[in-house]
Amino acid sequence: MAIKDRMSGNEAVAYAIRQVNPDVMPAFPITPSTEIPQMVSTYIANGEMDTEFIPVESEHSSMSATIGAEAAGARSLTATSSAGLALMWEELLLASSNRLPLVLTLVNRTLSGPININCDHSDGMGARDTGWIQIYAENNQEAYDNFIQAYPIAEDKRVHLPVMICQDGFITSHAVENIELLEDEKVKEFVGEYEPEEFLLNPGNPIAVGPYSISNYAMEAKKNQEIAMENSKEVIIEVAEKYRELSGRGFSLFEEYRTEDADYIMLIMGSAAGTAKQAVDDLREQGKKVGVLKLRVFRPFPAKEIAEALKNCKAVAIMDRCESYNGNGGPLGGEVTSALFRFKVMIEAVNYIYGLAGRDFTVSDVCGIFEELEDMIVNGTEIEQFQYIRLR
């Protein structure tokens, strides 16, 4: 029987961490993710879990200690947001290139500057080329579900890569919503024990992790890492399927909401997908053929699957909660249009930037975007291909 409760996104992830009971958690506080290590250390203090919690002096140290613990053979994790993730940048690349299956719960917050504590995806997007698997949640339920799937994905022999479980700062992390939880023993059985083949604290079987590599080896190592990222796609799908059998919930690479016959689709990631779905429901009542493609897995990037899912629509609105400062759009805008081109899906694709640093994004904004797409297709109106929503 599922346990019904009310929780914020941070509470939900902390609850999942207690259920998984990993071996080591080094962490440093930063808004809005601070509650996660705070709640975990409370569980530990109350004797409800026995994870070794290491209070460190910075995020550079928390990721370093997580890497060290994971290499030693311990199932490890940390949590952070925004500038904390930026300070981890060097280590993020070491975690993935050393093929360590550790987990980071990211609570998405904008990067400075201007300094601001609210939600956008600039922290996660800044780490998009660090070799981490990135899974984004729409709400507290998905943050909980995604965390439970993190280790089974990361520790799979075909993968051995670190996983970032992302939820929107404040909107998801602090808002309390209904949630269905699994029983502790079901979570423990699903995640299983961590049994690495090779690890540092393994007497009689010495290893060296992260050795210097001359040019004759480094390119091959990077290719192998890329292959692991490609392999992770099938593992993510398998784990999602297994989790769906257990819980009755969840999506694979993305969720397709009312897209079957849709002429206009909004491709969006994170909490704003809920807003987009509400707008789709309202517009469907007026007879508009609209839908939402909510991206769950950003890394590996499901280029082929997205192109396939969009091929029958007339226009797609690609929603970026992050500015790339490349003069040509946001990260999703760039990657989705490249996917469409590579797989020869020649539909209209407009890139919108929304919700930067916590700017509101409402149902009427979504309706306005669908209206604009329709105007472009039906009346041939020329519209800007890269624009900001709610900019004064």
Partner 1 sequence: MRTDITKINETTPHDQLTEGLMVFAGGTSKLFNTGEWRTNTPVIHEEKCKHCFLCTPVCPDGCIPVEGGKRLPIDMDHCKGCGICAAVCPFDAIEMKEGNI
Q: Which is nearer to partner 1, 91 or 120 (CB)?
A: 91
- What DSSP line would sit under 70-103, residue for residue? HHHT--BEEEE-HHHHHHTHHHHHHHHHTT---E
Q: Which is nearer to partner 1, 101 or 291 (CB)?
A: 101
Find the binder of partner 1 among 1, 201, 208, 346 (CB under 8 A): 208
By the rule CB under 8 A, 99 interacts with partner 1: yes
What token pair was written down for 204?
């009689």
Residue 167 C-alpha from the chain's centroid: 7
**Of 251, 390, 379, 362, which is closest to residue 314 (Cα–Cα)?**
379
Find the binder of partner 1 among 46, 114, 185, 216 (CB under 8 A): 216
Q: Which is nearer to partner 1, 203 or 380 (CB)?
A: 203
Question: Can you tell me which residue has the tokens 């192998």?
Answer: 224
Q: Which is nearer to partner 1, 197 or 261 (CB)?
A: 197
**Of 317, 17, 336, which is closest to residue 148 (Cα–Cα)?**
17
By the rule CB under 8 A, 198 interacts with partner 1: yes
Interacting span for partner 1 (CB under 8 A) from 33-41, 166-174, 221-229, 305-313: 221-229
Phi, psi of 170 (to 5 degrees): 60, -55
Q: What is d(CA 84, CA 160) in angstroms, rounded to the nearest whole number?
A: 24
By the rule CB under 8 A, 210 interacts with partner 1: yes
How many residues would you count in the chain? 392
By the rule CB under 8 A, 217 interacts with partner 1: yes
Find the binder of partner 1 among 213, 328, 338, 364 (CB under 8 A): 213
Contact characters 140-179, partner 1, x per CB under 8 A: --------------------x-------------------
Interacting span for partner 1 (CB under 8 A) from 184-192, 220-228, 297-305, 320-328: 220-228
Q: What is d(CA 107, CA 110) in angstroms, rounded to the nearest whole number?
A: 10
By the rule CB under 8 A, 206 interacts with partner 1: yes
Query: Shortest approach of partner 1 to residue 180 CB, angstroms?
Result: 37
Residue 298 CB contacts under 8 Å (≥ 6 apart), including other chains: 124, 128, 134, 135, 136, 269, 332
Query: Shortest approach of partner 1 to residue 199 CB, angstroms?
Result: 10
Residue 188 C-alpha from the chain's centroid: 22
Cβ contact 258:370 at 8 Å: no
By the rule CB under 8 A, 232 interacts with partner 1: no
Question: Can you tell me which residue has the tokens 């090779």?
Answer: 198
By the rule CB under 8 A, 98 interacts with partner 1: yes
Q: Which is nearer to partner 1, 30 or 161 (CB)?
A: 161
Find the binder of partner 1 among 1, 46, 47, 205 (CB under 8 A): 205
Q: Which amino acid is residue 227, in one-letter code?
A: I
DSSP structural state of residue 231: H
Q: What is d(CA 250, CA 241) in angstroms, rounded to the nearest whole number?
A: 8
Q: What is d(CA 286, CA 276) in angstroms, rounded to the nearest whole number?
A: 15
Interacting span for partner 1 (CB under 8 A) from 213-221, 258-266, 290-298, 384-392: 213-221
Q: What is d(CA 304, CA 230) in angstroms, rounded to the nearest whole number?
A: 12
What token pair was written down for 191?
């995640």
Query: Shortest approach of partner 1 to residue 205 CB, angstroms?
Result: 8
By the rule CB under 8 A, 194 interacts with partner 1: no
Q: Which is nearer to partner 1, 102 or 181 (CB)?
A: 102
Query: Shortest approach of partner 1 to residue 377 CB, angstroms?
Result: 46
Phi, psi of 181 (to 5 degrees): -110, 155
Find the binder of partner 1 among 45, 115, 176, 221 (CB under 8 A): 221
Interface with partner 1 (CB under 8 A):
97-100, 160, 198, 205-211, 213, 216-217, 220-221, 223-225
